[in-house]
């Protein structure tokens, strides 16, 4: 062992180098009794080791294999170098607890004492910052292969991940120039990851919604249910690759699989996943963005040499398929692999003019800069992309070590996996691959029908939800609904051959135009969704009008109807104290009273004038010499009222005149009593209830009973634009009293039942609700004639015909 140590010193190799695979011959010189050790070696068998320090946290153990493969590729580069052909790289890997800066610094100091030429940091931001400070202290190159949202600027650092600024520019240009999104929703996993989208958020001129992804299953389901019921179709999703499958499953559950949906995932490793099970014919487009090379399907005549060089040797031969994910290297593997190749090229460049002298560094002695540190890091930054066969080529770094040149590859999921659609870099900007035109069949097989998004409003009897989610929101599957419209839609879908999902318009309005005064008219409700092409069709009690037909397309009317007035039936009242007078009108009672008084006076006068009515008194009467007249004024009244009550008296007229008069009165009383009795019987058996309004004119000519329509819909537009005096006056009344209109049909029905309110709606609903509640009734005739139809976005019916009709 002593002789071996002597030989090491006699070779005068640097301290940080070791000798492996040597064969020694120690012949003894007997003439001078001195040992003259002689080294017999073959240069091909001896490799001097150059150490690289690697500090990994406990969560980075899966990247240890990447260093082994990367070291092999880097050593191949060194073997082809004239100055370093006898050297080989070897990593010194140490694992430390995550976020434990003290232990990480201790381990780094131990590694520095071995004489390393570069230091690799862990994924933990706090540990990386501490190790970078240590590397700057000794002038040692520091390599960062993990995504750093706020990378520290350092002369001695190099970051293999793309810089946030360059990445943001590429993403912004892709979304605005290629995808041409005017509206989108950004879903992020962690708040700090939003820094990647700073450029996009600051420059995007369209409508941008930002949602936070909850890794908790219940929170994620709630968010996906909200997105599924919304109007957004374009989603930029920044979640870990291992959660993508769950995301797509939830998207399927919430019916977000129609061809109008697009999902772009930004995790670099999405392309390594097998997501072909989620690919649906003419369904949602699933795309990804990566810096891994997928350029082989682009126009190779226009590709750069660096793009071609990576495929000169199959990647499986370079690193082995067992180290790949789904046949493709992961981003972490690729960046480590490329960083080691860059480091090997940098070493080759530096040693052309200067000898490589690794130096032992100690944290206990006064710090001193490694002389070759600055030259080595500058050489790595200056390596020409054309000379490197990296996995994420090309490369360019600024003075702070931030990577500014890289290929941002866009990919789209097909039945054969992810296929590239374009490449962007800061120099050449966006290059879109030549994609063959997709020819859709005139009629898809019914088993492979497209999934159409149907917008509607829950409103009986046409659309009635029967199944709800955990948050009491109607599900979007066809079996979660019932009603006339859903039956009609099922028949059409079965006959044509398409699938559909049901979507409730957010404001639950049929839609009317809102004029902002500057020539801009905004449509809400179903109309707005069709105009903005946020839905494929509208199936509901959707009225066809002239104004709507200018903006959207309609099918043939499937029901003809008209506007009507819904009001409460007149309520029966308790009989009053004088209800016995109701069988005869007040005029008749007045005439009876006047006639009664006149007849009584006539009878009194006639009896006074007729001598036959004056009779002798009774013999027993003391005043027997005076004749008496029985029809005094009081007796005349009594006699006639007895006739009205069908009662007889002891009074009897004697004269012809009085007898004629009383006979006429008795006949009159007989007719009146018979009429009164018959009417009284009718009043007791049949209750005559009269409504305070009988027509639209009655409503228009009073203000005690309020009336209105839905706030947004064809009925409201009818009164607003009508030129007929009655309807125009009713429209002005609704403008004067905005609270007279209601948001939903149910709200209108409730207000009618509360009283003093008339609800104007289509006759079909009027009949439906009147048949189910006896308190309601239709008043008057139909106000107009119109029809219900299926609505489509304008000029899209031909597209729908090509796709599914």
Mean pLDDT over 245-269 rounds to 85
Q: What is the pLDDT of residue 46?
A: 60
pLDDT band at 438 (very low <50, low <70, confident <90, very high): very low
pLDDT value of position 754: 92
Domain boundaries, the chain: 45-162+330-405, 164-290+407-432, 446-561+791-798, 579-685, 691-784
Q: What fold is seen in the domain 579-685? A: Helix Hairpins (1.10.287)
547 or 186, greater pLDDT? 186
Out of 35-49, 516-530, 541-555, 705-719, least confident range: 35-49
pLDDT tens digits along 278-319: 776 667 889 999 887 654 333 333 434 433 333 334 344 444
Binding site membership for L-glutamate: which residues?
A: 543, 548, 714-715, 762
- 13: confidence class by pLDDT, cuts 50, 70, 90: very low
Cα–Cα dist 191/238, whole Å: 11
Q: Which residue has the tokens 């010193």?
A: 9
- Which residue numbers belong to the known binding site? 543, 548, 714-715, 762
Q: Residue 449 — pLDDT band, cuts 50, 70, 90?
A: low
Q: Look up residue 394 and give its two tokens.
A: 């090309």
Q: What is the SS3 assignment for 38?
A: strand
pLDDT recorded at residue 230:
74
3 state SS of 508: coil
Pick the more confident residue, 625 or 509: 509
- Regarding the domain with residue range 691-784, which homologous superfamily does it belong to in the CATH classification? Periplasmic binding protein-like II (3.40.190.10)
Domains 164-290+407-432 and 579-685 share a fold: no
pTM greater than the 0.85 cutoff: no
Given a cut of 80, whether residue 790 has pLDDT beyond it is yes
Higher pLDDT among residues 321 and 213, named by residue? 213
Spatial contact of 568 and 775, defined as CB atoms under 8 Å apart: yes
Question: Residue 740 burial by CB count (10 A; 0-12/13-18/19+): exposed, middle or buried?
Answer: buried
At 2, the pLDDT band (50, 70, 90 cuts) reads very low
> Distance of CA 598 to CAs 627, 661, 675, Å?
26, 11, 21
Topology (CATH) of 164-290+407-432: Rossmann fold (3.40.50)
Which of the given ranges, 236-240, 469-473, 512-516, 517-521, has the highest pLDDT on average? 236-240
Give the burial class of 748: count Cβ atoms within 10 A of its Cβ; 0-12 exposed, 13-18 middle, 19 or more buried. buried
Per-residue confidence band for 442, with pLDDT thresholds at 50, 70 and 90? very low
* Residue 618 pLDDT greater than 50, yes or no: yes
Q: Averaged over 403-411, what is the pLDDT?
A: 88
Average pLDDT of 434-438? 48
| DSSP category for residue 468 | B
What percent of the chain lies above the pLDDT cut of 70?
82
User: In 359-459, at which residue ranges do the beta strands (DSSP E only) sit?
Assistant: 396-397, 403-405, 408-414, 417-425, 429-432, 451-456
Q: Give the residue ranges of DSSP H helices in 459-585.
A: 484-496, 525-531, 546-549
- CB-based contacts of 727: which residues, under 8 Å, 6+ apart? 696, 700, 718, 719, 783
Q: pLDDT per residue over 159-176, tens digit each?
A: 888 888 888 999 999 999
Confidence category of residue 382, pLDDT binned at 50, 70, 90:
confident
CB-CB contact of 423 with 410 (8 Å): yes
The larger pLDDT score, comparing residue 151 to residue 264, is at: 264
* Per-residue pLDDT band at 760 (split at 50, 70, 90): very high
For residue range 761-775, list pLDDT tens digits in order.
Answer: 989 888 999 999 989
**pLDDT recorded at residue 625:** 64
Whole-number CA gyration radius for the chain: 49
| pLDDT given at position 520 | 73
707 three-class SS: strand
Which range, of 168-172, 291-295, 580-584, 652-656, averages the lowest pLDDT?
A: 291-295
User: What mean pLDDT value characterizes the chain?
Assistant: 80
Over residues 112-125, the pLDDT tens digits come to: 888 898 999 888 88
Torsional sign, CA 517, 519, 523, 529 = negative
What was the pLDDT predicted at 623?
A: 62
**Three-state secondary structure call for residue 628:** strand
pLDDT band per the 50, 70, 90 thresholds, residue 396: confident
pLDDT surpasses 50 at 22: no
Of the candidates 787, 782, 788, the residue with the CA atom closest to the CA atom of residue 763 = 782
Q: Is the pLDDT of residue 798 over 60?
A: no
Place of tokens 């002038």: 139
Asked if CATH classification 3.40.190.10 holds for the domain at 446-561+791-798, the reply, yes or no, is yes
Give the mean model confidence (pLDDT) for residues 126-147: 88
In this predicted structure, what is the pLDDT of residue 11?
Answer: 36
Determine which helix (DSSP H) or strand (DSSP E) holds 308, and give its type and residue range. Answer: helix 305-309
Coil, strand or helix at 36:
coil
**Residues 534, 486 contacting (CB under 8 angstroms):** no
pLDDT at 573: 67
DSSP state of 175: I
What pLDDT was estimated at residue 113?
87
Mean pLDDT within 635-647? 86
When pLDDT is cut at 50, 70 and 90, the band that residue 539 belongs to is very high
Q: Is the pLDDT of residue 805 over 60?
A: no
Tens digits of residue pLDDT in 187-230: 998 888 888 899 899 999 988 999 998 888 888 888 888 887 77
**Size of the chain in residues:** 805
- Topology classification of domain 45-162+330-405: Rossmann fold (3.40.50)
Residue bearing tokens 């360019």: 396
Q: How confident is the model at residue 435 (pLDDT cuts 50, 70, 90)?
A: low
Is the pLDDT at 447 greater than 50? The verdict is no
* 83 has a pLDDT exceeding 90: no
pLDDT for the residue 235: 95
Query: Of 233, 184, 190, whose CA–CA distance to 210 is shortest?
Result: 184
Query: Does an H or E element contain 4, and which?
Result: helix 2-11
């Amino acid at each position: 062992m002593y002789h071996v140590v002597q030989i090491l010193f006699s070779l005068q190799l640097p301290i940080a180098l070791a000798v492996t695979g040597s064969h020694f011959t120690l012949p003894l010189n007997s003439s001078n009794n001195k040992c003259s050790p002689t080294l017999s070696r073959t240069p091909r068998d001896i490799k001097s080791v150059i150490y690289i320090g690697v500090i990994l946290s406990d969560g980075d153990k899966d990247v240890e294999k990447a260093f082994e493969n990367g070291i092999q590729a880097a050593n191949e580069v060194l073997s082809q170098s004239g100055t370093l052909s006898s050297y080989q790289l070897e990593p010194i890997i140490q694992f430390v607890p995550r976020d434990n800066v003290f232990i990480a610094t201790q381990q780094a100091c131990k590694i520095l004492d071995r004489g390393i030429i570069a230091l690799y940091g862990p994924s933990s931001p706090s540990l990386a910052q501490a190790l970078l400070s240590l590397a700057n202290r000794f002038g040692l190159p520091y390599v960062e292969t993990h995504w750093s949202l706020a990378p520290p600027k350092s002369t001695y650092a190099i970051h293999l991940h793309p810089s946030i600024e360059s990445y943001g520019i590429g993403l912004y240009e892709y979304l605005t120039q290629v995808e041409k999104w005017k509206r989108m929703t950004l879903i992020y996993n962690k708040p700090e990851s939003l820094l990647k989208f700073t450029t996009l958020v600051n420059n995007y001129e369209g409508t941008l919604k930002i949602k936070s992804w909850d890794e908790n299953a219940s929170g994620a389901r709630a968010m996906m249910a909200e997105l599924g019921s919304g109007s957004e179709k374009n989603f930029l999703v920044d979640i870990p690759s291992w959660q993508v499958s769950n995301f797509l499953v939830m998207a399927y559950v919430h019916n977000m699989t129609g061809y109008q949906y697009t999902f772009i995932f930004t995790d670099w490793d999405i392309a390594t996943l097998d997501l072909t099970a989620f690919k649906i014919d003419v369904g949602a487009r699933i795309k990804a963005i990566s810096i891994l090379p997928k350029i082989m399907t682009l126009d190779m005549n226009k590709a750069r040499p660096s793009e071609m060089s990576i495929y000169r040797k199959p990647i499986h031969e370079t690193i082995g398929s067992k180290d790949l994910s789904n046949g493709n290297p992961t981003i972490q593997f690729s960046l480590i692999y490329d960083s080691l190749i860059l480091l090997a090229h940098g070493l080759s460049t530096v040693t052309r003019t200067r000898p490589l002298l690794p130096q032992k560094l100690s944290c206990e002695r006064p710090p001193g800069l490694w002389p070759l540190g600055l030259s080595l890091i500058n050489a790595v930054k200056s390596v020409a992309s054309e000379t490197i066969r990296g996995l994420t080529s090309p490369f360019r770094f600024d003075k702070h070590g931030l990577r500014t040149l890289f290929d941002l590859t866009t990919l789209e999921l097909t039945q054969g996996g992810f296929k590239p659609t374009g490449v962007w870099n800061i120099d050449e900007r966006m290059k879109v691959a030549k994609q063959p035109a997709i020819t859709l069949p005139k009629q898809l097989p019914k088993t492979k029908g497209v999934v159409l998004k149907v917008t509607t409003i829950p409103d009986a009897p046409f659309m009635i939800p029967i199944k709800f989610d955990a948050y009491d929101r109607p599900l979007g599957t066809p079996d979660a609904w019932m009603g006339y419209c859903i039956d009609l839609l099922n028949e059409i879908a079965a006959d044509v051959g398409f699938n559909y999902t049901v979507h409730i318009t957010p404001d639950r309005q049929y839609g009317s135009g809102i004029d902002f005064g500057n020539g801009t008219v905004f449509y809400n409700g179903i109309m707005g969704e069709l105009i903005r092409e946020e839905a494929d069709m509208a199936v509901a009690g959707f009225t066809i009008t002239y104004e709507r037909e200018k903006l959207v397309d309609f099918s043939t009317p499937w029901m003809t109807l008209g506007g009507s007035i819904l009001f409460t039936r007149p309520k029966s009242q308790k009989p009053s104290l004088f209800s016995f007078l109701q069988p005869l009108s007040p005029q008749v009672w007045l005439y009876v009273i006047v006639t009664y008084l006149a007849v009584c006076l006539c009878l009194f006068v006639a009896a006074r004038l007729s001598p036959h009515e004056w009779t002798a008194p009774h013999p027993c009467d003391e005043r027997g010499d005076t004749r008496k007249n029985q029809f005094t004024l009081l007796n005349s009244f009594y006699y006639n009222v007895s006739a009205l009550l069908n009662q007889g008296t002891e009074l009897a007229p004697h004269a012809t005149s009085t007898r004629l008069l009383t006979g006429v009165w008795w006949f009159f009383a007989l007719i009146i009593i018979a009429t009164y009795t018959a009417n009284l019987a009718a009043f007791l058996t049949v209750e005559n209830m009269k409504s305070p309004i009988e027509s639209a004119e009655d409503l228009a000519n009073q203000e005690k009973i309020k009336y209105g329509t839905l706030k947004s819909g064809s009925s409201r537009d009818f009164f607003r634009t009508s030129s007929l005096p009655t309807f125009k006056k009713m429209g002005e009344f609704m403008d004067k009293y905005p609270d007279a209109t209601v948001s939903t049909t149910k709200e209108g029905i409730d207000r009618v039942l509360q009283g003093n309110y008339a609800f104007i709606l289509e006759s079909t609903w009027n009949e439906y609700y009147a048949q189910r509640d006896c308190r309601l009734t239709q008043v008057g005739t139909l106000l107009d004639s119109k029809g219900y139809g299926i609505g489509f976005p304008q000029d899209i019916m031909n597209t729908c015909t090509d796709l599914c009709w």
